[in-house]
Structure 1
Amino acid sequence: MKKYFNLLILTALGLLLTTKVDADSKTLTVALEQNTQPLSYNNKNGKLVGYEVDVIKKINSVIKGYHIEIEAVSAEAAEVGIESGKYDLVGGGLFKTAEREKKYLFPSENTGVSTIEIYKRSDDKDIQTLDDLVGKKLSPVTANGGIYNLLTTYNNKHQDNQITIPLGESGELAQRYQNLADGKYDAVVMPSNFGADKIIKQLNLDVVTADEPVQVNATYFIISKKEQKFKEAFDKAVNKLKAQGTLSKLSKKWFGEDMFKYKITEE
């Protein structure tokens, strides 16, 4: 009986200590997109799941002094929210760009890797590289986004061989690939980490990628500039998860391969 009583006391003390640690942790909020499979999306039961959801959960298990709450939002609401102070960090498989680095903190450690692919109709044998996109009709891209920067960098280096870059929103990802298959576009330049292969298979489209990626990017969460100390804790947590092989395992789970095996060609 005495041993049992002592065990109860120890258990109670342990719970108190755990509660104290949790109470001392600063709670921050991350905005994750609710329709960007497989990064983060609502499954058929309405539950938010995906690679970045799992990454945040793993970070919470090792980070010191912080706890990250997840909020599912639209793509448009995410960056608006971090600028207004509603969110402390934002996901979405984001690339580093000069525009974003002016406004946000980027972790020292990337949490993902994305290959940039040219998607084309399988019967179009003429498209393999960025050079081949000159004179072709592309799906619209977002101004100042990663794909826009990739294409404008190409144009800056090839003054006599320019790619026409259409700006704007082109709708859901599935619609982009459907429009490509239907001939509205000649090519879609997109990161691979948005579940293109699954979408193309589900729609039974005759769409394939060029033989090689045109670029391999590190991807990040962006952090409010007010949270420098959190950034440092975040970096330590991500570095630990990488060393444990946790991010590689999550990559295999959600992307079907270890994306960290690719050599980064663009930060």
Structure 2
Amino acid sequence: MKKRHFLAILGATALLTACSSQTSTTQSTTSDSKTTWQVIQEKGELTVATPMTYQPTSYYNDKKELVGYEVDLMKEIAQRLKVKVKFVETGFDQAFSAVDSGRVDVSLNNLDITPDRLEKYNISEAYKYSVSGMIVRADDSSSISAKDLSDWKGKKAAGAAGTNFMKIAKKQGAELVTYDNVAGDVYLNDVANGRTDFIPNDYISQKLFVEAMKKENPDLNVKVSDVLYNPSQQGIVMSNKDDTLVDEIDRVLHDMKADGSLKKLAEQYYGEDVSKPYESDQEIPTIDISDVDSAE
């Protein structure tokens, strides 16, 4: 799926520049002559954008340690690449702009691999496979149960602006209620008290999070619906300036899949192997959102 991007060198322009100024023919910054991977090697650090508020991918545990499937994945990748890793708290709305600006080297936030994103970025091979789902009220007052998502119209969907989940909600006629990079319990409480009707998001992650929250508050009026849609796969997003970094990361991911360490990490945080394509006995519909420009 990966689409490589190459910069074209205009010979005529280079010749014109050489004629106008002899010194300009050799004018080139050191950073321009180095690849993305060479720059990271020299600074000895891989900078990673992560939400830090989303279980089980990126969150603080009881010991105030940043952990999660994506966090531990990047720690392992950095270790195998022999560089340090630095995490930068970044909400979904900044996940791509942080890469664009050079604030971070890579971005992870359960980001789906999609054709439009592959046009703009280099994205690693999938480190996680999943399917979309939703959290609704446990007393069924959300009144959302159609397998084809036909009953989303007019319902209040909660999520971060710009996500594919919210684009699906927009496509299905839901009213969008967007949040900044807030903790998951804010979402759950708003569904429970009726401020919103449902949370479209990653099904596997939602199951684990709701289970954990209901252990703390058994009376919390939420549950994970059994309605599934839009199978997905997630990758690590980075600049497409050149392919050196994505090649290095893909090499490590391939090794982690081969030696079983990625599966072990997946089972640690999800209780199942999400490093392979999601399997289901039921037919899972796919909502086309290629014509949805924004979910804001």
CA distance in 2 between partners of 1:130 and 1:68 (Å):
46
Q: How much has 1:56 moved relative to structure 2?
A: 1.5
- Residue 35 of structure 1 contacts residue 74 of structure 1 at CA under 8 Å; is this kept in 2? no
Secondary structure of the residue that 1:85 maps to in structure 2?
coil
- Residue 174 of structure 1 contacts residue 200 of structure 1 at CA under 8 Å; is this kept in 2? no
Equivalence for 1:196: 209
Which deviates more from structure 2 when the two are superposed, residues 53-62 or residues 122-131? 122-131
Q: How much has 1:128 moved relative to structure 2?
A: 4.1
Letter in 2 for 1:90: S
Letter in 2 for 1:164: A
Which deviates more from structure 2 when the two are superposed, residues 93-102 or residues 39-48? 93-102
Per-residue CA deviations over 1:115-174 (Å, capped at 9, x if unaligned) read 31121123327514243433342223444322133345xx4xxxxxx4224153275321
Per-residue CA deviations over 1:2-45 (Å, capped at 9, x if unaligned) read xxxxxxxxxxxxxxxxxxxxx77964322222222221122333
Per-residue CA deviations over 1:83-123 (Å, capped at 9, x if unaligned) read 2112110111111345533432111x111123311211233
Which deviates more from structure 2 when the two are superposed, residues 178-187 or residues 75-84? 75-84
CA distance in 2 between partners of 1:235 and 1:30 (Å):
16
CA distance in 1 between partners of 2:112 and 2:175 (Å):
19
Which deviates more from structure 2 when the two are superposed, residues 187-196 or residues 217-226? 187-196
Please identify which structure carries the higher helix content. 1
CA distance in 1 between partners of 2:121 and 2:163 (Å):
14
Instruction: Give runs of aligned pairs for residues 59-70 of structure 1, distance below 5 A.
Output: 59-63=77-81, 67=83, 69-70=85-86
- Say what the alpha-carbon RMSD is for the aligned residues: 3.1
Instruction: Give runs of aligned pairs for residues 249-264 of structure 1, distance below 5 A.
Output: 249-259=264-274, 260=276, 262-263=278-279
Equivalence for 1:232: 247
Unaligned 5+ runs, structure 2: 1-40, 287-296
- Residue 99 of structure 1 contacts residue 144 of structure 1 at CA under 8 Å; is this kept in 2? no
Equivalence for 1:86: 103
Q: How much has 1:77 moved relative to structure 2?
A: 5.1
2:179 is aligned, of 166, 169, 179, to 169
Matched, 1:244 2:262: no
Q: How much has 1:199 moved relative to structure 2?
A: 2.9
Equivalence for 2:90: 74
- Residues matched between the structures, number: 235
CA distance in 1 between partners of 2:174 and 2:96 (Å):
27
Per the alignment, do residues 113 and 48 of structure 1 end up closer, same or farther by CA in structure 2, a change over 3 Å counting? Answer: same
Q: How much has 1:62 moved relative to structure 2?
A: 3.5
Letter in 1 for 2:217: L
Instruction: Give runs of aligned pairs for residues 51-66 of structure 1, distance below 5 A.
Output: 51-63=69-81
Which deviates more from structure 2 when the two are superposed, residues 232-241 or residues 203-212? 203-212
- Residue 133 of structure 2 contacts residue 201 of structure 2 at CA under 8 Å; is this kept in 1? yes
- Residue 95 of structure 2 contacts residue 107 of structure 2 at CA under 8 Å; is this kept in 1? yes
Per the alignment, do residues 244 and 180 of structure 1 end up closer, same or farther by CA in structure 2, a change over 3 Å counting? Answer: same
2:58 is aligned, of 40, 45, 54, to 40
1:105 is aligned, of 122, 128, 132, to 122
Equivalence for 1:14: none
CA distance in 2 between partners of 1:245 and 1:51 (Å):
15
Per the alignment, do residues 123 and 42 of structure 1 end up closer, same or farther by CA in structure 2, a change over 3 Å counting? Answer: closer
CA distance in 2 between partners of 1:182 and 1:223 (Å):
39
Unaligned 5+ runs, structure 1: 1-22, 156-161
- Residue 56 of structure 2 contacts residue 270 of structure 2 at CA under 8 Å; is this kept in 1? yes
Equivalence for 1:3: none
Equivalence for 1:123: 139
Instruction: Give runs of aligned pairs for residues 11-50 of structure 1, distance below 5 A.
Output: 27-50=45-68
CA distance in 1 between partners of 2:246 and 2:154 (Å):
42
- Residue 128 of structure 1 contacts residue 211 of structure 1 at CA under 8 Å; is this kept in 2? no
Letter in 1 for 2:213: I
- Residue 118 of structure 1 contacts residue 214 of structure 1 at CA under 8 Å; is this kept in 2? no
Secondary structure of the residue that 1:166 maps to in structure 2?
strand
CA distance in 2 between partners of 1:181 and 1:84 (Å):
38
Q: TM-score, normalised by structure 2?
A: 0.68
Identity of matched residues, %: 24
Q: How much has 1:55 moved relative to structure 2?
A: 0.8
Equivalence for 2:156: 138
